[in-house]
Structure 1
Amino acid sequence: SAGVAFAVTRSCAEGSATICGCDTRHKGPPGEGWKWGGCSEDVEFGSMVSREFADARENRPDARSAMNRHNNEAGRTSIIEHMHLKCKCHGLSGSCEVKTCWWSQPDFRVIGDYLKDKYDSASEMVVEKHRESRGWVETLRPKYNFFKAPTERDLVYYENSPNFCEPNPETGSFGTRDRICNVTSHGIDGCDLLCCGRGHNTRTEKRKE
């Protein structure tokens, strides 16, 4: 959902979309030495489109939909909170006598790193069932009362992620044991990650051509 909001917002500012454009609702008066100008990115419109697109499939009364709706909104909130002023100087010989500024999204890498931190500190929830007029509905509540309840900025989960290091017939994973890994790689094919801390065996081969 964060990716959808980001892409739509950027397309609107670049003029790639015909149904939207720049955000003309400048937030606050200009500051000393600068004035509003350029094209402020309309993140509220991008978030609205993301909400209609990503959340449309999450309308079931079950725990997974509740989790996805919460996490989708957290992703969109992360973009809104990382909006910042971007400015351009004007003046003779680059003197920057006056600056025009506009609201801009950060590089998406910033959002990705931020959400990765949120993922690593996600709040564990438990499922509760209660009856409403439409039938049984599942909702989520924090598993541990002595921890601070998650806010709209935090990510939540109620099931642990599968452990792909070990075989799991339910998910169809064969695990990573006996896989070939790359000693020099820091990526997903690297021995440190692929061997899951079990260590690795090195084999040298000589080939004649």
Structure 2
Amino acid sequence: MLTRIVNNTVESYGAFPHSGVVFSLFCNSGYGTIKMIAQNRHYEPGIHPFVSDDPVGRRNLTSSNAATQPFYPYQGFHESLALGQQYSSLGSQPLLCGSIPGLVPKQLRFCRNYIEIMPSVAEGVKLGIQECQHQFRGRRWNCTTIKDNLAIFGPVLDKATRESAFVHAIASAGVAFAVTRSCAEGTSTMCGCDSHHKGPPGEGWKWGGCSEDAEFGVLVSREFADARENRPDARSAMNRHNNEAGRTTILDHMHLRCKCHGLSGSCEVKTCWWAQPDFRMLGDYLKDKYDSASEMVVEKHRESRGWVETLRVKYAFFKHPTERDLVYYEGSPNFCEPNPETGSFGTRDRVCNVSSHGIEGCDLLCCGRGHNTRTEKRKEKCHCIFHWCCYVSCQECVRVYDVHTCK
């Protein structure tokens, strides 16, 4: 069962045990009133809905829920990222949750209970992977994925590095973003437009359209992505923190989007709604957080439930990371040479920028090995002319480019 609190009202979205019904439950905490909206949905007998043990609070760096959840061998959220590659077209085909590789039991229950939004979850994972590849396109590690492999990034994410921190954050944000967008587009009956954060309209405009319910998307992402992070160890604490940092980015950048109505663009009436930011902007923001990520150290101490690992900032004179910062506690390999143990593919034959002194430049990207240069002919449209009315005619030109690749 998905649970959140909005305006002092508890809202739950879930499957009613053994009833074959998915419902939305609105329980006003002040007056004790309950409103149930039932919808016909398949529910698998014997699979009880789960209730979020942290419906609205932010996860901290301590593994606080480890004692109440089953103990699985550690597999991070990245073990579920194959969902984005293998199930990106879930909306066009029947989905059997048991056929999805890499899901732990809690994620499997989530899939069965909320199968209607699983295509959006898969699309969000895919969106996060694509954004990772865009953001790191000019770096030694360029977010390369391995086809037909459950661990689609290979061993790279097995370490608690900056790269792992970014992938968890962007994938978690991708799930929240895609689910929120799907709800606003009306593709799911489990969710819809946000009606909780409108308030009075501003001067010269009124509320209209469909405000995007980002809090529901964040809730779904939290339940799915954090389902693996149940161990009382430092890596689970790190992953939960970075997952939450990615999701929080969406809530922090929600904004009003408006549209004018009137003759000849006069904007006699302007309607506005809450909208998510562009996902590329979220990627840029999290990439900056990657560059300024906080290095941590692991501390172990005993609690009533046993030994628990927590994270502490490594250098006391540095600012303690906030919930919006990325954290890591292991160094990254240099990614210059192929190394199956670290998952590095090396940078040989990578295209580099000979005129740049940045990380994408041939000096840094090629790790001092030098680069090769070859000429490449490309056909392009040129000498285009607009004809009244209304078409454009172009000629085809062949242009020669220098292409530089690492030795």
> Is TM (by shorter chain) over 0.5?
yes
The aligned residue for residue 156 of structure 1 is 327
1:200 pairs with 346, 370, 373, which one?
370
Is 2:212 the counterpart of 1:35?
no
Shift of 1:189: 9.6
Structure 1 alignment gaps of length 5 or more: none
Q: 2:276 aligns with which of 105, 114, 117?
A: 105
Note closer, same or farther for the CA distance 1:74–1:182 as it changes in structure 2 (3 Å cut).
closer
Q: In 1, Cα distance between the equivalents of 2:266 and 2:371?
A: 62
How far apart in 2 are the matches of 1:87 and 1:203?
49
Does residue 84 of the first structure (1) align with residue 255 of the second (2)? Answer: yes
Separation (CA, whole Å) in 1 of partners of 2:341 and 2:307: 27
Question: What TM-score, normalized by structure 1, do the two folds share?
Answer: 0.87
Q: Which has the higher strand share?
A: 2
After superposition, the Cα gap between the structure-2 partners of 1:189 and 1:143, relative to the gap in structure 1 and judged at 3 Å, is: closer
Paired residues of 1:128 and 1:141 also in contact (CA < 8 A) = yes
Equivalent-residue separation in structure 2 for 1:76 and 1:109 (angstroms): 14
Match of residue 57, structure 1, among 219, 228, 240: 228
Aligned equivalents of 2:373, 2:213: Cα separation in 1: 55
Which stretch of structure 1 is more off in the superposition, 157-166 or 105-114? 157-166
Tell me which of 287, 293, 300 is aligned to 1:122. 293
Structure 2 residue aligned with 1:14: 185
TM-score (norm 2): 0.46
Distance 1:31 1:169 in 2: 58
CA distance in 2, matches of 1:2, 1:181: 29
Q: 1:98 to 1:112 in 2, by over 3 A?
A: same
Question: Over the residues paired in the alignment, what is the CA RMSD in angstroms?
Answer: 2.4
Using the aligned pairs only, state the percent identity.
Answer: 83
Cα displacement (A) at 1:131: 1.0
Q: CA deviation at 1:61?
A: 0.7
Match of 2:351 among 167, 182, 185: 182
Deviation at 1:191?
Answer: 4.3
Q: Number of residue pairs matched?
A: 201
> What one-letter code is carried by the residue in structure 2 that aligns with 1:66?
A
| Cα deviation, residue 151, structure 1 | 0.6
Tell me, yes or no, if the aligned pair for 1:181 and 1:189 is still in contact at 8 Å: no
Structure 2: unaligned runs, 5 residues or longer: 1-171, 376-407
User: Contact conserved, 2:194 with 2:211, CA < 8 A, in 1?
Assistant: yes
Deviation, 1:203, is 6.5
Paired residues of 1:40 and 1:104 also in contact (CA < 8 A): yes
What's the CA shift for 1:167? Answer: 5.4
